[in-house]
Structures are given as structure tokens and as C-alpha cells.
Amino acid sequence: MTDQIAPATQPPVRRRFAGSRVSVAPALSVVGLLVAGLLTAQVYMNWTPTLVTAASPTPTATPVLVVSGNTPTPAPTATPVTNLQISVPGTIVYAKGGNLWLQSGTTAHQLTQSVNGSQQSQPAFSPDGQWIYYIDTRTRLGWEYDWTFHNELAHYTLNYPVLCRIRPDGTGQKDVLSSLVKVGVPKGYSPGLSFYWLLEPSISPNGSTAAVMSNGPSRPEGQDVVIHYVNLTTGKLGPALSLPYTPYLGLSDPAFSPNGTVLAYTMEGRTNSYAPTPSIWTYAGGVAHELARGFRAASWSPDGKYIAATKVVGNTLNIAVLDATTGKQVSQVTTDGASWSPVWSPDGDKLVYMHLTGAIVDLNMVYISGTAGSFTFKIEPNLTDYSGLDGQSTAAWYIPGFGPTPSSTATAAPSGSATPGPSAPGPTSSPALSASPS
């Protein structure tokens, strides 16, 4: 598979400290994406059941009682409460309290530790299981020449993402790519600091590339959050992939197929009433194709024939299985209205997904049997019980002996720059003063 590669010193304080003034430029570049996902985020973090009429096809969202060998607690615990009835094969990694946790067998232990308020999320295993890649969101003081405040330096708090990796045993932690960029200021001042978005890494089957959401690598004003590739050897962020997208809303959820020849992703959309209307797209052989509308967050089956996805209907989220070629829904896994972000097990006969009970997020699992059109799903007790996982993050799963087999002709990566969809106006942009990765 061929990778696509593109090309501080504290300043003198010239004005009073501006406290927690937020960097506006990066926020504006992603505001549309956040609007499109606002309803989804509300469901993730503050879900309540939806009342439906008998004529509505939307399943009633009913909280599911937890049945397991552990005693439920009324609030999240400091550590995940695992289910002693289920022994997890291999290792699952997820986020809780801004730290990464590993669950294997019937036990869980903490992998990362927050430093100065940092938050770890969105883990992804390397194909050989030797590394876990993740996003570490860090906080630091930033500054920029502010033309609106008497032509003086403006200070603000930056919460910026860094792509990192760590071994499952906790050793070898390394920063792969920081999103900090230097921004130009008048002569005589130290360069200011800003950042670009860097989210949701998916690792290619040959382990050389990460597909990410980003609006980098330069200063992000006017740049939409779309799909880029990161060379994991050099730590360089490549240009935006040449994929259609909705201006201001962008792309998300990149996912390599098991052989690396297809890249699945979510195109964000919205109705005139601002309700989210996502769709899963695939890119293969130089062609981008809309696979299924009303779905997001694709997770491939190990054989590449099916995709587990989050089905979005109004303010309900459920897990469904799609044919990876036609996009046809072949199975409905959940109907509770509060399940999302599926992960297909490497051995192919299980799915795990995030599930909301009341206001607490846990990890659920189902066993899969049968064939397309007659899949049977046996829902197991929760893998975690009232543990309060970070629902905006994802999980990842590695089982020794079960992994992707990259194709020698894998060509999922398009070249060039991202382009807006044909029915939407082109994105706006503003020139950067200057920018370089820090």
C-alpha cells in the first residue's frame, strides 16, 4: 500500500492575561461538523427515551436492565466493573475518565495516565497488536497577535490533539504527530500558536499509515475537517484526500477494509432543520461511492463482506449490519435506541458496542451466528457494569492469530485535495499568515 504524504518560546506579555480565551479559528473550521453531530452527541452523553406512535417505524428506546454476575452500582465507579461471566478473548481497549483501559479475560487495568489534565481517547490497534495508537488531548497556553485588541498579543488556552502510540504493556509511549502550528506575528515577537484537528485514527493493514480526521497541516482557517493520511514512520500529515464532502460539515469515521483496498468513512450531512443525516461512503479504485444513507461509524467484518454500523433514525442510535458491496441492511442487531460505535471482533463471531443505560455508558457484546440474511445475534450481559465509559470515544479489539491481510495492490488512498460534493457550494477559505507543524 502506498502512503500519501504531503509535505516556543513564551512571548513578552504586552497586555493583561486573557484567561481562558478560546482559540476561535480552529473552532470555526469545525463548527459545522459539530452542529451536524450535536444530536448524536446529546444521545451519547445525555440520552432519554423517545416516545413513538404505533405508526412510527422507529423502535422505542427502552433502557435495558443489566443482568450479570456483578452487583450494579447507582453511579460510575473509579475503575471499570467487568463481568465475571464473560472472558474476553484477546484484548479490548476503551476510554474511561480520560484514560485508556485494557480488558482481557475477566479483568481490566489502566493503560494510560492523564497528565496535567490531558485526555486520552479513540484507540486503534496496529495490525500486529504491538501498538495502540490514540489521541491525547492536551492543554497549554497559546498566544496570537490580535488585531482587534489594540494590536497586541492575545493569550488563550489551547486544548489540542496529539496522535500518540503506546505498547499494550504500557512501555514505549511516543508522540507521533502534534497538531500545534506556529502562526505569524509582527516582527520582533515570538511566533504564536494555534492547532488543527486530528481525530479518529484508523491504522492500515500494513501498519504504515493512519487515516485521520483533520483540517491540517497548516493553519486551519476555512479548512474543513476531512480525511487525511499520516505516515506513521515519518509522522507527517499528508494532504486532504480527494473525496466529496459537505462544506462546513466534512468527513469522519475513517476505516480501512481488512485488505486495505477500500476506505470507508462517514459523510456528514444535515436537513433544513439541522437534523443530522450521515451516510457511509467507500473509496476504492479511484472511485468514491455512497454506500448507505442514515448510517455512520463503519466497522468491517474480518472477511470484508459486511460492515457493522450505527443506524441513525431521529434521535435514536442502533447497531445494524450492512452488505459491504451493496450497502443493503442485512440485519438489525439492537432496537433499544441507545447503542452505537460497533466494533467487529477479529475472529468474526462477536460485536461489541457502546450502550447507554440511564445516563451511564457501558460496553455490550453480542455473539454472531448464521449467514447473511439469517444472522442470529445473541446479546450477552454487559462487558462492563455501570462503569461510565467515555461514550464519545471508540473501542478497539485485538486477538492474537486473527488480523488483517493487506493486499499487495492496496490502493485505497486517493491523491490530491478534498473536494466538496457536487450539490453543495464550495468551502470558503482564508489565507494563513504562516504555518508550520510544531
**Does 18 have pLDDT greater than 60?**
no
Q: Which of 118-132, 146-160, 215-229, 353-367 has the lowest mean pLDDT?
A: 146-160
Smallest CA-to-CA distance from 394 within 253, 228, 207 is with: 253
Q: What is the mean pLDDT of residues 114-118?
A: 93
**Does 294 have pLDDT greater than 80?**
yes
Band (201; pLDDT cuts 50, 70, 90): very high
Q: What is the mean pLDDT of residues 119-129?
A: 97
Band (151; pLDDT cuts 50, 70, 90): low
Q: Which residue would you say has higher pLDDT here, 319 or 275? A: 319
Q: What is the pLDDT of residue 276?
A: 79
Q: Render pLDDT for 340-399 as a digit per residue (tens, 0 to 9).
A: 999 999 999 999 999 999 999 999 999 999 876 688 999 887 899 999 999 999 999 999
Q: Render pLDDT for 264-275 as a digit per residue (tens, 0 to 9).
A: 999 998 877 777
Q: What is the pLDDT of residue 67?
A: 37
SS3 29: helix
Q: What is the mean pLDDT of residues 219-248?
A: 90
**Does 140 have pLDDT greater than 80?**
yes
For all residues of the chain together, what is the average pLDDT? 78
The topology (CATH level 3) of 24-420 is: Neuraminidase (2.120.10)
137 CB-near residues (< 8 Å, 6+ apart): 118, 119, 120, 121, 159, 160, 161, 162
**Is the alpha carbon torsion for 36, 42, 43, 44 positive or negative?**
positive
Q: What is the pLDDT of residue 404?
A: 80
Q: What is the mean pLDDT of residues 14-20?
A: 31
Which helix (H) or strand (E) is 360 found in, with range? strand 360-369
Q: Which residue has the cell 432519554?
A: 48
Band (43; pLDDT cuts 50, 70, 90): very low
Q: Which residue would you say has higher pLDDT here, 16 or 116? A: 116
**Does 418 have pLDDT greater than 80?**
no
**Does 423 have pLDDT greater than 80?**
no
SS (H, E, C) 196-240: CCEEEEEECCCCCEEEEEECCCCCCCCCCCEEEEEECCCCEECCC
**Does 416 have pLDDT greater than 70?**
no
Q: Render pLDDT for 61-86 as a digit per residue (tens, 0 to 9).
A: 333 333 344 444 445 678 999 999 99
Helix 38-46 and helix 24-36, axial crossing angle in degrees, nearest 10: 80
